[in-house]
Structure 1
């Protein structure tokens, strides 16, 4: 390794140690606050009279608010800086999430879930965009992979916590599900205030780096941005209508449909496998698929960065996830179903940091803020579609397996779209998606 590469590796490692643990904490809380209704479902329905269809709509309506405000939120982050905007996002979403403790009717449930999406809009694409301001393309999948630990960690630690909070039923006159929303929501607001003092907007403002480290990192990131602008859209409008961005929206929609179709119902699925109510025991077992996801998400993006096989790995992981989701619904043995759920979670979590390397190869600046937000907002509507599609399939075929088949099909279809339309030469930095108006790049 030459001196320049060694110096770049050293500064990248320092940035990872400084930023990723805190960003990871933020994502754990974000994922927990949007998915904790899976733990509250049965108790919430018993106390409020919500039907299965009403719960599915409320679970999914979060993504409508999220999608509507995603692009404006990310453009504001680009304008005012990450530290201020991330503080605003986390404080407001934490307060709305805590207010879910008072969702005693279907209407209140719908309104608060919608407002939670509005409050959280811009968080995830904002972090993805923020990471492009700190990590060169050569280490971006690895950084995104570590950040994606947030989803499984939310369940490894959050699942037992949620189960424990549900077991507080009756304490101080509150129901268990009310404690769940109150405590987990307020935790996010506290961390949001902390974010304002901890984060720096970009490397040039990072006083914890030496002058030489700042200069090296800024130069490397400038080179990446120059390469991106040479074959990608340069303006916000161009990014929003770019065919490559729109195709990636479709891929991400399918991935998120698989993710949230499983996530929102996983505690209930594990509860059925164990033959017991949702509580601490179910919370501990529910953590197992996410432990597997952490391991796979640690290994595969590093392998992809080292070999350049981001596309191949993403396809393989999505196919594995789709097959595993199907097996989890068809297997008669609880152990087999649990192993399948471990494979499913590992596949759709580890595939996502690889996916985000596709648009960041050719989007930069304000175009990156807009394009990444559009992909996340339209793609995130898969989380709105999934609960209702799963519920409708189960009702139509009178089988819980039917809903899982729909989710399995979404994961496999996402892999097929990547094979057909996403072009990322192995180890190269060419255009990610074949464009009818441009000469197709060589497929991996």
Structure 2
């Protein structure tokens, strides 16, 4: 494959976006994922006992977040397109930080449900908004690489967040609070602080970036405008509207594919600490709170490495069906096997394979919708995909907890997770195998995707 050597201005722009913009947005995502999954650390470390939660009630509390999230997902992303990412992402962060802080004083199951719902309302639009925002800052041929750097924040949230959450939980008695309440207090404050910083740090478009030179601003603006014009010339005029994106068969196919991946992600995220807590009864082992935090983090460090290397390969070759389908298939097979292992080490080893698979598929998946959506259609289409996908965020923890209550173990629940990930793998291979995606050496105007039958 013959490659085109990037000129100095192009290299400089991509380097600056990669080092000055992506890390900050990734930090926002880090805090976002930590706040929404903090309940997974609180549950087995005092909250379940103090509030009297069953496994199904815990799953419902974890999942009801996504009902509030879904209600305002698309309107929030359209508002970001209208008002600008700087204001809207900053507003989202401060709002969810305030709601997250209130978990410190939750005292009943209905109160927990209400706060989780409100947290979802407050966070609505952040993730698809961040994806859309980053897509507006780099040409298509670099998006897989940029989104991979952004997505590293998600597994690293657990690598860093699990031990930090454990340390906060161990501060039992601070301010007269139980350890799990101290943890909620500690993880909420950074959202408020970084939200305020984001208001001043982010810029809505390259022309407003003070850290780009005039030549760099001109190059990047020209590149992005050329791509937008190319998309407009190869699609029907109405396809650029939000309504067309919401009724597109292609968008809905991506949404179902994403549903299966997210089902695996949140089944793992919300119940892994609880499953590790069950090792004591299953294998006769005993771990303190901090050790459990470290064990919870184990699968996610290799997952971060796998994410980076797999996405690097996708950037080099162009995103293909197997960049999504192969990891989804591996996750589908591995996650049900984890609870049949004969030792904690073997169980964590298999869970690590699952985590690597899930996180390898996700960033490459998000490189696809931006290939044929722009403007209001991108805002609506990406939000719809994320909305349908995040239905799995509600369904996965609730079904996992309910099946556990019904069967007495998590084994059957993990087979359900595997089935949904298998659906994602099948959709990836069936739908994407004949599609053409960008390669690093393609011209600024990307070739249109071949029409697909729906």
Question: Match for residue 41 of structure 1?
Answer: 43
Please, which of 259, 262, 265 is the counterpart of residue 253 of structure 1? 259
Question: Match for residue 99 of structure 1?
Answer: 102
Provide, for residues 381-402 of structure 1, a one-character-per-residue CA deviation record: whole Å limited to 9, x for no partner: 1010001221233344433211
Deviation, structure 1 residue 426:
5.5
Provide, for residues 91-150 of structure 1, a one-character-per-residue CA deviation record: whole Å limited to 9, x for no partner: 010111110112211111111000000000000000000011101111101111111111
Deviation, structure 1 residue 88:
0.5
Question: Match for residue 32 of structure 2?
Answer: 30
Please, which of 334, 342, 348 is the counterpart of residue 324 of structure 1? 334
Question: Match for residue 442 of structure 1?
Answer: none
From the superposition, tell whether residues 162 and 368 of structure 1 become closer, same or farther in structure 2 (CA, over 3 Å): same
TM-score after normalising by structure 2: 0.92
1:78 is aligned to 2:96: no
Q: Size of the alignment, in residue pairs?
A: 436
From the superposition, tell whether residues 430 and 331 of structure 1 become closer, same or farther in structure 2 (CA, over 3 Å): farther
1:305 is aligned to 2:315: yes
* CA RMSD of superposed structures (Å): 1.7
Question: For the residues of structure 2 that align with 1:310 and 1:189, how far apart are their CA atoms?
Answer: 39
From the superposition, tell whether residues 142 and 4 of structure 1 become closer, same or farther in structure 2 (CA, over 3 Å): closer
Question: Match for residue 235 of structure 2?
Answer: 231
Please, which of 16, 19, 23 is the counterpart of residue 18 of structure 2? 16
1:272 is aligned to 2:278: yes
Higher relative contact order (CA 8 A, sep 6+): 2
Please, which of 260, 263, 282 is the counterpart of residue 292 of structure 2? 282
From the superposition, tell whether residues 3 and 339 of structure 1 become closer, same or farther in structure 2 (CA, over 3 Å): closer
Tell which deviates more after alignment, 44-53 or 362-371. 44-53
Question: For the residues of structure 2 that align with 1:435 and 1:362, how far apart are their CA atoms?
Answer: 16
Deviation, structure 1 residue 262:
0.9
Tell which deviates more after alignment, 238-247 or 326-335. 326-335
Question: Match for residue 439 of structure 1?
Answer: none
Structure 1 gaps, min length 5:
437-444
Deviation, structure 1 residue 362:
0.2
From the superposition, tell whether residues 72 and 278 of structure 1 become closer, same or farther in structure 2 (CA, over 3 Å): farther
Please, which of 163, 181, 189 is the counterpart of residue 166 of structure 2? 163
Please, which of 425, 435, 444 is the counterpart of residue 436 of structure 2? 425
Q: After the TM superposition, which parts of structure 1 deviate over 6 Å for at least 4 consecutive aligned residues? A: none
Tell which deviates more after alignment, 305-314 or 115-124. 305-314
1:315 is aligned to 2:296: no
Question: Match for residue 114 of structure 1?
Answer: 117
Deviation, structure 1 residue 410:
1.2
Question: For the residues of structure 2 that align with 1:134 and 1:433, how far apart are their CA atoms?
Answer: 27
From the superposition, tell whether residues 9 and 241 of structure 1 become closer, same or farther in structure 2 (CA, over 3 Å): same
Question: Match for residue 378 of structure 1?
Answer: 388
Deviation, structure 1 residue 4:
4.9
Question: For the residues of structure 1 that align with 2:105 and 2:258, how far apart are their CA atoms?
Answer: 33
From the superposition, tell whether residues 432 and 304 of structure 1 become closer, same or farther in structure 2 (CA, over 3 Å): farther
| Equivalences for residues 76-225 of structure 1 within 5 A | 76-225=79-228
Question: For the residues of structure 1 that align with 2:123 and 2:436, how far apart are their CA atoms?
Answer: 35
| Equivalences for residues 358-377 of structure 1 within 5 A | 358-377=368-387
SS of the equivalent of 1:36 reads helix
From the superposition, tell whether residues 98 and 432 of structure 1 become closer, same or farther in structure 2 (CA, over 3 Å): farther
SS of the equivalent of 2:278 reads helix
